[in-house]
Amino acid sequence: DRLAYLRELEARRATILGSIKEQGKLTDALVRAIAGAETKAALEDIYLPFKPKRRTKAMIARENGLEPLLRAILDDRRADPAARAEGYLSEAVPSTKDALIGARDILVEELAENAGLLGQLRTFMQREAFITARVVPGKGETGAKFSDYFDHREKWADIPGHRALAILRASKEEIVTVDIALDPETGVPRAIGMIAAEIGIAGEAPGDLWLRDAAGWAWRVKLSLTMYMDLMGELRRRAHEEAIAVFARNLRDLLLAAPAGPRPTLGLDPGIRTGVKAAVVDATGKLVETATLYPFPPKRDLIGAEAAVIEMIRRHGVELVAIGNGTASRETERLVADALKRLPEGTTRPTKVIVSEAGASVYSASELAAQEFPDLDVSLRGAVSIARRLQDPLAELVKIEPKSIGVGQYQHDVDQRRLTQALEAVVEDAVNAVGVDLNIASAALLTHVAGLSPRLAEAIVAHRDATGAFAARQELLKVSGLGAKAFEQAAGFLRIRGGKEPLDASSVHPEAYGVARRIVAACGRDLREIMGNGTALKGLRAEDFVDDTFGLPTVR
């Protein structure tokens, strides 16, 4: 996220420099200021005076010759502004009141485009402002789930992301109104004081009094709204970042859950009226049997359902029963528990496990599922997914779009582009952290390996289907379209169990096999004994194996 922000910041910096240069207004001081801006907000503050804008009140006042009036008031505070204004009357400016309003409009625009002042006010607001939520009259009943925020007030700086998202959701649904403002008794006078200090108001002369009044006006009609918009945008961004970080952690936990391993598994997708969908997969995840059970209303065939479960367990040597955690999950678990009690003597009793079924329905209706099970009813595909995700959560969950796995509350409220980027990065990190068995991985899983596109992943599977299992990582170079660069990126994340080269089963990259063998030789033991046995390396010093190609971090 930080990298993406910095890239966007640099792109915006270049755009702003180009725009001001085209206007012929770029100075050395501006170049330095733009180069030194560390945030998007600071950049936009600098750019404000140069932004193309619609016709404003200040523009009209300047066209009517009122800018010299403002300069005269600023330069000589002793004179009465109203008396000065008499010299600027015209057909377009019929009264001294109109003249002073025009001068004030110019001053307000200048203050609203003052980068230094905006930065001071923003920092002050971020520290001192309160966010307030109040229920919209008449919405108390329909918005009852947001009742915690019907009369809510807390410091803007202190509000946690989940509470901010709840308030923003309530506001979007027009249940509450939201304001971000300073305390009227203590905060507002200090903000106006900052504006007055920027103008340079020190005394009580007629000009000072007029300028002080103009400073208050500038805060009320322009700057307070600017600050509200800035802080609301910052609050939304901050809340989204916090939420996305939580969603990413949740997804990572799901993906990296310990696999049950290659064991025959019965997957049950609970349902009441539509029945419990059942699917048995063998130790490799291959589908061997499906059924639909109706233990609940309206059919209430509990005995038949139990008998079917017992028969599937007995026939296929089922060792695990994966039960989806959706509707009727507990009732289905009781059904399985009762069935296990009735297993024939001598039958191995499987272990039952409640499994998250998040995204199973999305997978069932996906193109990938249709390719994998073209003749299987959509409703039964979910049971297959539930069984497989117990065997190997990572291999199965990568088939589902990360957002569809259901990784947290308010996930549909946050920036969807950022969420997608973050979740896809988590999937890629998880896949590459664990590694992929090259001879059993699906194209969906291989797609997430560094260096492999969907096309290359499908080419690897097609090559494997046509020629048989890979015996060595180097054989990847025989795959159509897979060149040296893709091999260099992907090889270290692909594993081959029982192949020609024992190191192909490790996370060691082929480029580092030489240094790995030197380490093995120094141990004086067989490579297979050392793999996965960190204690065998305790007597060695990593520094002894550093060379011109491999530095200390790599060797370690």
Query: Long-range CB contacts (< 8 A, 24+ apart) of 346-349?
Result: 347/313, 347/314, 348/317, 348/319
| H or E element, residue 126 | helix 115-128
Prior bond of 81 cis (ω within 30°): no
For the record, the structure tokens of 485 come out as: 């660069």
CB 418 within 8 A of CB 238: no
pLDDT at 536: 66
Calculate the CA 152 to chain-centre distance. Answer: 27
CB atoms within 10 A of CB 530: 18
For the record, the structure tokens of 478 come out as: 């025989």
Compute the Cα dihedral for 48, 51, 57, 63 and give only its sign.
positive
From residue 450, give the alpha-carbon distance in Å to each of 7, 284, 429, 434.
22, 25, 9, 12
* Of the candidates 503, 518, 507, 506, the residue with the CA atom closest to the CA atom of residue 549: 518
pLDDT at 360: 87
> Domains in the chain, ordered, with CATH?
1-49 (1.10.10.650), 265-391 (3.30.420.140), 432-555 (1.10.150.310)
With the CA atoms of 428, 433, 439 and 442 taken in that order, what torsion angle do they form, in degrees rounded to the nearest 10? -30
Query: Can you name the residues that pair with 429 across neighbouring β-strands?
Result: none
Q: Mean pLDDT by 10-residue block, N- to C-terminus, for the chain (556 residues)? A: 84 92 91 92 91 89 97 96 96 96 97 96 98 96 95 97 95 97 97 97 94 98 97 95 91 90 95 95 93 94 96 96 94 96 92 91 90 93 95 90 80 87 89 88 90 94 92 94 94 89 88 82 74 69 77 72
What is the β-pairing status of strands 130-135 and 176-181?
antiparallel
Tell the residue number behind the tokens 């079917």, with chain if given.
308
Q: Hey, is 76 helix, strand or coil? A: coil
What is the β-pairing status of strands 320-324 and 351-355?
parallel
pLDDT at 374: 94
Which pTM was predicted?
Answer: 0.78
pLDDT at 440: 85
Distance between CA atoms of residues 340 and 349, nearest Å: 7
From residue 221, give the alpha-carbon distance in Å to each of 32, 190, 198, 215, 510.
32, 16, 18, 10, 67
CB 311 within 8 A of CB 303: no
Give the amino acid at 249: R
Distance between CA atoms of residues 118 and 129, nearest Å: 15
* Of the candidates 77, 68, 60, 69, the residue with the CA atom closest to the CA atom of residue 210: 77
pLDDT at 532: 67
CB 351 within 8 A of CB 219: no
* Of the candidates 117, 130, 108, the residue with the CA atom closest to the CA atom of residue 42: 117
For the record, the structure tokens of 81 come out as: 């502004």
Strands (E), 227-273: 265-269
CB 169 within 8 A of CB 133: no
Q: Hey, is 321 helix, strand or coil? A: strand
Calculate the CA 492 to chain-centre distance. Answer: 27
CB 389 within 8 A of CB 444: no
pLDDT at 415: 87
Strands (E), 149-246: 151-155, 176-181
CB 266 within 8 A of CB 278: yes
H-type alpha helices, 358-497: 360-364, 367-372, 378-391, 393-397, 416-434, 443-446, 454-467, 484-490
Distance between CA atoms of residues 244 and 411, nearest Å: 8
Compute the Cα dihedral for 511, 513, 518, 523 and give only its sign.
positive
Q: 422-443 burial string, b = 16+ CB within 10 Å, else e? A: bbeebbbbbbbebbbebbbbbb
For the record, the structure tokens of 133 come out as: 């939520």
